[in-house]
Structure 1
Amino acid sequence: MPRNKDFDYDDKLKTARDIFWKKGYNATTMNDLVDTMQINRSSLYLAYGNKHDLFLKSLSNYIQKKDKQYTQAAKKSEEPLEAIRNVIYSVFESALQDNNCLFTNSVFELALTDKEVSEILQKQTLKAVALFDNLLKQAQAEGSFAADKNTLALAHFLVSGLVSIYNTHILFNDAKLTKQTTEILMGTIRM
């Protein structure tokens, strides 16, 4: 009869996500994971696979968290441009609170060298682009945004701008500068 796990899978996954988040994929060792997650090595391998498998699960878990954040922020307003501003502002608040971003770290550390990570990041980016593109098209349809603007190109720009919010805060740890970056990004969706 198989032995039951004596730990919470999701809780330990969050712990792994946080260490990858703080140290990066390459700097995180299996010993770091075993020590931080407080499970033995064989349990880690049985539950999550190898380090790379665990990282992919951690990144997917983080992305689910971000999806929920974006959706909730967008739903705070029925006005499409305000919904976009809400999403952008939620990223600003996250940058200040978390002072890091596993997505941003993964883009710069792994996107060029790890095909699986790159695919996850691209999929999430396109999902966020679709959210913004949809909202921009709604704003155009109701006349609150210029009809001649390329919504898809602007949506891509806005999503890349979300990364710049984290980038600014990670590098300078300056809330005022990070807020200014956020406001400039929000200014790109004025009529």
Structure 2
Amino acid sequence: MLIFLTFVLTSEFYNQLNSLLNEDIQKTFKDFKDKQIMYFADYFPEIEYGQFHIHSYFYKLEHYNRIINNFPGEIFKYVNKASLFDKRPFEHEFFLQITQSFSLLEILIVVNQKRKNNKQSRKFKNENQDLSIIKYPHLKELHLVMAQKDYLGQFLIDTKTCLSNNVYLRTNY
């Protein structure tokens, strides 16, 4: 008989010098066989803040919070609500990865005050010819209250983003 353990551990740490890197987490779980866990960490030295996520590959929760740029990707069959957080800008490819990982996404919350990179902005001005279309077929709510205005453009103006009809939008703009 096979038993699957589902667990999630998300933690934040302040005023520490990048004390928990991905390598440290990997050492902690070295005895787990067959890559049964997924982990990623990030540290923001300018604000002395870090966070890490550890979860089993059999993730069955309906929400996933505080996804960061170095999210390694995976298919999450049950997640319908996700929040994105980072101190570095989210680019087009990151949003594409999010839709591939969370195909049933209904609620998306974006928390990021950083402008997108200039290189990416130039691509947008050139009608996004080289970028894949990002589709959100099940999205019902989009929260951009704590997001830089570039992300409003990403979702509402960008011709390479396709939203479903009747999406509830929360923003400060």
What TM bracket, shorter-length normalisation?
under 0.3
Q: Which has the higher strand share?
A: 2
Larger RCO (CA within 8 A; separation ≥ 6) = 1
Please report the TM-score for the alignment, with normalisation by the length of structure 2.
0.26
- Compare CA radii of gyration and give the structure with the larger one: 1
TM-score (norm 1): 0.25
